[in-house]
Structure 1
C-alpha cells in the first residue's frame, strides 16, 4: 500500500494561441494520510495547477494521480464530479459564501450533496462559530467568513482538504488563527490537509513541505517537529 496521495510524473500543458505553456512539468510527490502538507512557491510556480488536478477540477495530460488507492487521473468526467462532491473539501482565498444565506445555511448547502455529512451546527461549533450560525456573511468579519467556508468543507467529511491561499485575504493574526484551526482539524480528525501558499513563513508548521519552482518540484522536506503556528512570525 503506497502513500495516501501519490502524484507521479504529472504534466499539464495549456495552449495559448501559438504558444504551449507547461504548468506542471513532471511533478511528483507523496503525502501520507493525516499529514498537514504545505505546497509553497512563488506566483506562477504551478501550485494552483497541482491543486486543481488533485481536486479533480482539471485533468493532467500525462502522469498518474492516486488518492486513497483510487486512480483519479483515469476518472471520467462523471467520476471526477463524484470525486469532487464526495471526497474533496475546498477552501479558497475568497470565501465564496452565498450572501443571502446564513452561516448555517451556507454549510447545509454542502451537506446536501455528500454521502455522510457532518451536522452543520457541529461543523460550525468546531470552527468556533457557535454564536454566529444565524448571521449572514455581511455580518461576519473576514476571518469568520473563512471559518464558515472551512466548516462548509469539513461538513462534507472529505478524504482530502485542499486549501488555496486560505489566509491570502486576511491580516497576519487572523491568518494564524485560520492556520491553527486547519492544523488542529488535521490532528483531531486525522484528516489529510494540503495548503497552497506563496508564504514561506508558514512552512515550519507543516509535516511535509513541497516546494515548487518553474512548474517543477524543487524540494520535499519533512518536519519531525512542526512549529506551533503561534510561534511563527511573518
Structure 2
C-alpha cells in the first residue's frame, strides 16, 4: 500500500503530494507547486527526513501553480522519470507566460516538453509493484490527466474533482461540459472508497462526491 503526504504551497493554496512506498522508501512527487525557497525546503526536508528516494515526477496538468517547482524538483533529483500529457504543451501558454498574463512579476523556470514522457488515457506507470493508471480528464486544462492507484485506492485528480465541486473552466481551453462528462466517465465507475487527493482543498472520496456533489447529479 502506498502512503501519501500533502503540502499546500503558494498564494493559490495548491496541493503538492509525495506518494511513497513505505517498505522501499521510493517516492513519486506529484504537481510540485513550491514557489518559494522555504517551500522547496519543506519538500526536500520531508523527503530527506523520511529517507525517501524520489523516482517519479507526475504532472496532472501544466497550469503554473502546479508546475512552479518542477524545474527545482528535476534539478534536485535529476534521475526522475517525469510524466505529463502532450496536449497541454501544444495548447497552453508556457507557465512563465501564464504568470505574466496574470500580472505576477515572479520568476518561473519552464520545463520543456522533451523532459517528459508523454502519457495518454489508460497508459500505465509501474511504481513499486503498483500500477498507476492514467485517466484523461480534460476541461479544466486541455491535457489534464489523473493518476489512479487501484490497489491503494488513491486517485490524484488535480483540478478536476474537488471536495463538493469541480475545477474551474474559465482558463485557456476550459470547457465545462467536457470536464463534467470526463469526470462522470472516468471517476464515477471507481469504487466509493477511493480517496480523491485534489489539487486544492481537502481530500474526499468518490462515494462522498457521488452522493453529495451537486455537479454530478
TM over 0.5: no
Q: Given the two structures, how large is their TM-score scaled by the length of structure 2? A: 0.32
Larger radius of gyration: 1
Higher normalized contact order (CA 8 Å, seq sep 6+, divided by chain length):
1
